[in-house]
Amino acid sequence: MTEISFHFNVLSPTGYACRLLRKALRRGSAIAVTGPKAALAELDRELWAFDAAEFLPHAWVADLDAVPQSLRTGTVWLAPEPLAAPLHDALVNLGESAPNGFESFRRLIEVVSTGESDRSAARERWKGYARRGYAIERHEVGE
pLDDT above 80 (res 142): no
> What are the pLDDT digits (tens) for 37-80?
999 999 999 999 988 888 999 999 999 999 999 999 999 999 99
Give the chain's domain count: 1
Would you give the distance in Å from CA 61 to the centre of its chain? 13
Q: What percent of the chain has pLDDT over 90?
A: 90
For the entire predicted model, the pTM comes to 0.95
Question: Angle 37-48/13-26 helices, nearest 10 degrees?
Answer: 60
Domain hosting residue 35, numbered range? 3-140
Residue 52's pLDDT is what? 84
* Residue length of the chain: 143
CATH number of the structural domain spanning residue 105: 3.40.50.10110
What secondary structure does DSSP assign to 69-111, as a single string? GGGSTTSEEE-SSGGGSS--SEEEE-SSSPPTTGGGSSEEEEE
What is the per-residue pLDDT across 66-125, written as a single tens digit (0 to 9) for each? 999 999 999 999 999 999 999 999 999 999 999 999 999 999 999 999 999 999 999 999
d(CA 106, CA 4): 9
Question: What pLDDT shows up at residue 143?
Answer: 54
